[in-house]
C-alpha cells in the first residue's frame, strides 16, 4: 500500500506502485480513472494486459474483458470493510506512519476474519 495526500491524484502513484511488483503475464484491473497513456504503456511494456475500460474521449477504444473486470469488486469490498474501522474512516492519526500502521492492523484483522 502507498499513502498519498488527499489532494493528489491516484494516477500519479500508479506506476510507482506497479514498479514494486512483478506484473509480467498478469492482468492489471483498474477503473477508467487510470486510463492514461503513461499507465497503459507501462503495463504493455512490462508484459501485462491492462483490463481498464477506455475513457469515452479516446479516439481508439481498447477491448475490455468485462467478465474479468468484475473481479475488481474484491478490492472495492476491501475498502468498504476497512472503513468500518472508525479510526481509519475518520483519519484521527496525524502522522502517516501511525495511520499506515493502523491500516495494516485493520487489514490483518479483515484477512483473519
Assign 113 a pLDDT band (cuts: 50, 70, 90). Answer: confident
Residue 23 has pLDDT above 90, yes or no: yes
**At which residue does the C-alpha cell 472503513 appear?**
83
Q: Where are the domains of the chain?
A: 1-64
**Cα separation, 37 vs 35, whole angstroms:** 7
From 59, 7, 1, 64, select the one nearest 30 (Cα to Cα).
Answer: 64
**In this predicted model, what pLDDT tens digit does every residue of 68-99 receive, in sequence order?**
999 999 888 998 998 888 877 777 778 888 88
| Secondary structure element (H or E) that encloses residue 30, with its range | none
Q: pTM to 2 decimals?
A: 0.77
Amino acid at each position: 500500500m502507498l499513502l498519498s495526500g488527499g489532494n493528489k491524484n491516484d494516477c500519479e502513484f500508479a506506476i510507482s506502485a506497479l514498479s514494486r511488483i512483478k506484473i509480467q503475464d498478469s492482468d492489471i484491473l483498474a477503473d477508467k480513472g487510470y486510463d492514461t497513456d503513461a499507465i497503459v504503456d507501462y503495463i504493455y511494456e512490462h508484459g501485462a494486459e491492462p483490463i481498464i475500460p477506455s475513457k469515452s474521449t479516446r479516439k481508439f477504444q481498447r477491448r475490455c474483458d468485462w467478465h474479468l473486470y468484475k473481479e475488481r469488486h474484491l478490492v472495492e469490498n476491501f475498502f468498504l470493510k476497512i472503513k468500518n474501522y472508525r479510526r481509519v474512516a475518520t483519519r484521527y492519526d496525524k502522522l502517516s506512519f501511525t495511520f499506515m500502521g493502523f491500516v495494516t492492523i485493520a487489514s490483518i484483522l479483515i484477512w483473519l476474519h
